[in-house]
A and B are shown apart, each in its own frame.
Chain A
Amino acid sequence: KQEVTQIPAALSVPEGENLVLNCSFTDSAIYNLQWFRQDPGKGLTSLLLIQSSQREQTSGRLNASLDKSSGRSTLYIAASQPGDSATYLCAADLLYGGSQGNLIFGKGTKLSVKP
């Protein structure tokens, strides 16, 4: 059974710091891995998606990597800003050959960036 774990559960950093959020999964047979952001009381915003054949994706100050062999993904945030404060969730899509919307989510990392 696929399990997705995110460490740490919460993180507080000063503005401007570079930081790394970690995600691990138990089954390497994933179709893709997605990182999301969730603000309090809101839905999920897709940040980055890495397909199983890729090793990393970049968008602005965000970089996500994927190492299927070790069952790990990291989300790197450069030059953090107070507006980055949110809960970050990673999710593994398990069905090889075609996605059917069944993502396994981690519990998230709650990030607080202090001015």
Chain B
Amino acid sequence: KAGVTQTPRYLIKTRGQQVTLSCSPISGHRSVSWYQQTPGQGLQFLFEYFSETQRNKGNFPGRFSGRQFSNSRSEMNVSTLELGDSALYLCASSPTTGTGELFFGEGSRLTVL
């Protein structure tokens, strides 16, 4: 069974640009969560989608947005990039029911210059 797949793995952008990251969950998983990881703040929750609906959102500015498609694949977008947005962005998927265990992808490392 394939794991959570994130693309691209690495990308470099400049301030003011926007970026879109993609996440394909484990087959059959309908919940997708996004996290930002930085050396200073650690792992912070961005948002969670289930059946194309955002169910939960962390404390991030509106520049951070996401969506989920009917096949459960999810994208997150960051507009007007700032230097502080440089981070590892991790996606996790979870089964519809059960213990709530999360399965993470390898992440997308974003560098903003």
Contact = CB atoms under 8 A, between A and B. Distances in A.
Interface of A: 31-32, 34, 36, 41-46, 49, 51, 89, 91, 93, 98-108
A45 B43 contact: no
A101 B99 contact: no
Q: Is the interface of B mostly helix, strand, loop or mixed?
A: strand
Contacts of A32: 99-101
Nearest to B41: A107
A53 to B, nearest CB: 11
Nearest to B91: A43
A60 B103 CA distance: 19
Given A34-B101, A107-B42, A108-B42, A101 B56 contact: yes
Contacts of B99: 32, 49, 51, 99
Given A32-B101, A49-B100, A105-B42, 13 more contacts: A34-B101, A41-B109, A43-B90, A46-B102, A46-B103, A49-B99, A99-B31, A99-B94, A102-B56, A103-B43, A103-B102, A105-B44, A106-B42
Q: How large is the interface on B (under 10, 10 to 19, 20 to 34, 35 or more residues)?
A: 20 to 34
With most chain A CB atoms within 10 A of its CB, the pick from B4, B44, B99, B106 is B99
Contacts of A100: 31, 48, 50, 55-56
B21 interface: no
